[in-house]
Amino acid sequence: MKNKKLILAVPKGRILEELMPILNKCGIEPEAAFTDPKSRLLRFETNIPELDIIRVRAFDVATFTAFGAAHMGIVGSDVIEEFNYSELYAPIDLKIGGCRLSIATTKTDKPKPLSNISHLRVATKYPNLTSNHFAKLGIQTECIKLNGAMEIAPNLGLADHIVDLVSTGSTLKANNLEEIEQILDISAHLVVNRTALKTQPETMQNWIDKFSKAI
């Protein structure tokens, strides 16, 4: 591992609010700047001298942890499945950040079943999960990678369908889309770098046990 201190990578956004009580139960108290919305810091000290936290985009949590820049991280099962990094071990479902990865398309009175489609153009930020899912259905898929504003793609003719995260479905409804099939149930997991687990087994197992007891 590249860092002498233990590094915990956490995601920006909605999961972080749900994660804070779990961190507290694990005895982790980040420095004040961590909860300051004006702070531009990305790395934060904690009350535990040997542990720092980095706050990055959800997709980047998996990459930082898999490549050893972080020892452990908090990341959604969607990201774990999309990247499928061999160096990531995901021992604990934290049961937060619940949502689903779903297929959606323009709402019509007579939707065309997927079973009658041989080729699709799909807008998504999950090209691997998307292509794998449709391949199982025997549907040839052209994935267009977008990082946001997915819901407007069908309306502008960029794609026939989208594959994106769905929580309440209100954003789909507001953009005249309907959810037609669910691909994956999603929740946030603790992930651990496998090399760190091999080289620091007692330390890493101790943190796994703490997170396990905190949920």
Task: Give per-residue pLDDT as tens, 138-162.
Answer: 999 999 999 989 999 999 999 999 9
Query: Which CATH number fits the domain that encloses residue 149?
Result: 3.40.190.10
Question: In total, how many domains does the chain have?
Answer: 2
- If asked whether residues 53 and 86 sit together in one domain, one would say yes
In a domain, 196, yes or no: yes
Is 203 inside any structural domain?
A: yes
pLDDT greater than 70 at residue 189: yes
Question: 24 and 84: one domain?
Answer: yes
Tell me which amino acid residue 57 is.
Answer: R
Distance CA 32, CA 42 (A): 13
Enumerate the H helices of the chain as residue ranges.
Answer: 14-25, 58-66, 77-83, 127-136, 170-174, 194-199, 201-214
Q: Which domain holds residue 108?
A: 99-185
Q: Do residues 71 and 49 both lie within one domain?
A: yes
pLDDT higher than 70, residue 2: no
The confidence band for 116, taking pLDDT boundaries of 50, 70 and 90, is: confident
Residues above pLDDT 90, as percent of the chain: 87
Whether pTM > 0.85 for this model: the answer is yes
